[in-house]
Amino acid sequence: MRVTVDSEQCVGAGQCVLNAPEVFDQDDDGVVVLLRADPTSGTTRRSARRATCARRPRSSSRRTEPAGCADRHRCPVRPGPRTRGPADPPPANTDRRQNHRRDSPVTTADDTAARWLRRYHPAEADAVRLVCFPHAGGSASFYHPVSARFAPGAEVVSLQYPGRQDRRKEPCVPDLGTLADLITEQLLPLDERPTVFFGHSMGAALAFETAWRLEQKGAGPRTVIASGRRGPSTTRAERVHTRDDDGIVAEMKRLNGTAAGVLGDEEILRMALPALRGDYRAIETYTCPPDRRLACGLTVLTGEDDPLTTVEEAERWRDHTTGPFRLRVFTGGHFFLTQHLDAVNTEIAQALHPDRAAPAA
């Protein structure tokens, strides 16, 4: 039986397009191909990965899914097409089966939302909500550990932008305002509950813009946590998106957020660079009016040695909220959060549950 594997739903999928220990692709015949990067050697082997999925008995009407499936309606391991024999019974639930095919057209609002909003773990019915915005070149699975940490007490929703991983064939959105508009459309229909936004780097600016749009519609979050980004109206003359591929790779090396073995792998870079270039264009051409302010609370996290944001530039987020403001400075560079996971999780926990103990200063 041929199967397809959705990398976004697989435990252990890469945390970022270029930090991924496993990067999945699909050939023209629909066979999943695994590109496995070995950061210690810098080598990559390309192999077909097959996964097995328990098949339900023909006498049962209940579908059997593989253990650990995070979302029973979007099983990460799905049977693909096979040749039918003359003795086979007619296929059951044909429409439903076709809706699960990777190449099937998106025809419903639920299908569209599933492309944008990823949930890796179930949450309690009355759980608070955490919406996570990836950095430039990043993917929803970057926040899989965050989801594992806070579920089931929080519904963790991680955004998957177009142009990467299972959305690789969709064009990137090279304008941050347009991307915020599209995300707002997906978040508006969600049920009302206390919500926190968390975004890193480009994701911080995108979280801010999305929160502002939702506030205009009376549906804003309770708190925005902006990590690794200067204040929205503070600009620099950055043109990384106009560089050639080598120039973009050089910038990634400078930020020290990607394994050297991955950066040296041409095949992985070939898949990842279009998303990186599109995201860099979106954030480098982004402008924000100096009087645009949120009404909700704003917590800013920054690394003291971040080459993209000084502490003074991070402080300028204060001008973009009328609510409570808090700045916390960590040791480290642009990806300081990977060195301070416990402290960052504490900040998120405090925002999700402000009635509990305050985080350490």
- For the annotated catalytic residues, the residue numbers are 201
Which amino acid is residue 188, in one-letter code?
A: L
What is the DSSP code (8-state) at residue 172? P
The three-state DSSP-derived secondary structure of 292-307 is: CCECCEEEEEEECCCC
**Phi, psi at residue 117, to the nearest 5°?**
-110, 115
Copy the structure tokens of residue 82: 């096979």
Q: Which residues contact 83 (CB under 8 A, 6 or more apart)?
A: none
- 297 - beta bridge partners? 223
Contact in structure between 318 and 244 (CB atoms under 8 Å)? no
Residue 45 exposed, middle or buried by CB count within 10 Å (0-12, 13-18, 19+)? exposed
Q: Evaluate the omega torsion of the peptide bond into residue 152 and state whether it is cis, within 30 degrees of 0.
A: yes
Nearest to 180 by CA among 107, 232, 103, 240: 232
- Report how far residue 201's alpha carbon sits from residue 324's, in angstroms, rounded to the nearest whole number: 21
Spatial neighbors of 118 by CB under 8 A, at least 6 apart, are 8, 9, 140, 141, 157, 158, 159, 160
